[in-house]
Amino acid sequence: MLRWTITFVIIALIAGVLGFGGIAGASAGIAKICFFIFLVLFVLSLIKSAISK
């Protein structure tokens, strides 16, 4: 799950640079979606690691 989290972070950062830099307006929406997916996966990873200890 950590691998997916890192993948979504990288995608969100790339989409954010493209969208917020003015290169592609649609990338800003994609960056927001990827960011929230990253947050959900991050929280799930934290909960899973806390339970497994």
Residue 35, pLDDT > 70, answer yes
Q: How far apart are CA 20 and CA 41, in angstroms?
A: 23
5-19: pLDDT as tens digits:
778 778 777 776 766
- Give pLDDT, residue 24: 61
Query: Higher pLDDT residue, 6 or 1?
Result: 6
Q: Which string of DSSP letters, residue by residue, matches 6-36?
A: HHHHHHHHHHHHHHHTTS-THHHHHHHHHHH
Q: Where residue 21 falls among pLDDT bands split at 50, 70, 90?
A: low
Residue 22, pLDDT > 70, answer no
